[in-house]
Amino acid sequence: MAEVRCILDAKATLGECPVWSAEEQALYWIDIMAPALNRLDPATGATRSWPLPDTIGSFGLRKRGGAVVALRNGLHLFDFDTGRLTFLTHPEPDKPGNRFNDGKVSPDGRFWAGTMDEESLSRPSAALYRLDPDGSCRRMIDGLIVSNGLAWSANGRTMFHSDSKGQRICAYDYDPETGDIANRRIVAQPSEEIGRPDGAATDMEGCYWSAGISAGVLNRWTPDGKLDRQIPLPCVAPTMPCFGGPDMRTVFVTSLRHHASDQKLAAKPLSGGIFAVEVEVPGVPVAKFKG
């Protein structure tokens, strides 16, 4: 049984999007509902927070410093030193019932971010977008309910993506030269009991680690769709894993307290915290946005 440690009892309303900075040996993460971008030094426990003016769905670190952030009112660049936001684009100004959700930088330095139907969690009104370094934004997948689970294989040639409410994990051929995707296939269709797919990360063996938000577990799926490993977590609902640590063999997992009943929170009081578990296979590093 894997040992799961709570490294920060953050009590986040909706903790999400952990991103590891190898240069700083630090973990960045967000709280969607109490909008802020946060930083944790796992070695010392030191924390820092940058409040944001609007709901944040995801972000990526930038090669030039700072971050690219997906707020309710669109995509922006963020300066850690000044706290300044620079607006880039808003691809869904005509859909006030949607907000940005899961996002990640692809190995070639593009930022991918999807939206979700926040009002009813049932309408296929959401989409997945690709933000290129030149600032152009393109809709890549339509007809989603809750876009989630972005991750890439170690060679950058396979992109994974899930629709949490569609309850399917898909893979696509990925072209790092153009950022195009093709040849969609379903990898897995997890049940509520196995764990509805939320955020995700990949390891160097090509396996896909998915936060099973409905089951309180971390699931490892093989490339051919077999559930290879399941790690129970001491929280009601894990939201997203990422690999980090000096050897990239630590999986950090964010979680939420949002909508959890008092009874469930009493049973799992660390919900909303950030957890760490050591694994044997190192993870695939996440790139930085080149824009």
Domains of the chain: 4-278 (2.120.10.30)
Q: H/E element holding 103?
A: strand 98-105
Q: Which of 208, 204, 17 is nearest to 104 (CA)?
A: 17
pLDDT of residue 91: 97
- Give the closest residue to 257 by CA, choosing from 276, 243, 270: 270
The first and second tokens of residue 210, run together, are 């998915």
**Cα–Cα distances in angstroms (integers) from residue 35 to residues 15, 16, 45, 52, 211, in the given order:** 10, 11, 21, 5, 21
Does 9 qualify as catalytic in the annotation? no
- Rounded Cα distance between 219 and 229, Å, is 6
| Beta partners for residue 256, in sequence order | 14, 237
- One-letter amino acid at 262 equals D
pTM: 0.97
Note the pLDDT of residue 121: 87
The pLDDT of residue 228 is 96
- Per residue, the 3-state secondary structure of 159-197, as one string, reads EEEEECCCCEEEEEEEECCCCEEEEEEEEECCCCCCCCE
Mind listing the pLDDT tens digit of every residue in the chain (291 residues)? 789 999 999 999 999 999 999 999 999 999 999 999 999 999 999 999 999 999 999 999 999 999 999 999 999 999 999 999 999 999 999 999 999 999 999 999 999 999 999 998 899 999 999 999 999 999 999 999 999 999 999 999 999 999 998 889 999 999 999 999 999 999 999 999 999 999 999 999 999 999 999 999 999 999 999 999 999 999 999 999 999 999 999 999 999 999 889 999 999 999 999 999 999 999 999 999 999
The reported pLDDT for the residue numbered 265 is 94
Report which DSSP code applies to 270.
T
Please calculate the CA angle 237-140-127 and round it to the nearest 5 degrees. Answer: 45
CA separation for the pair 194, 177 (Å, rounded):
36
Catalytic residue among 198, 203, 228, 262: 198
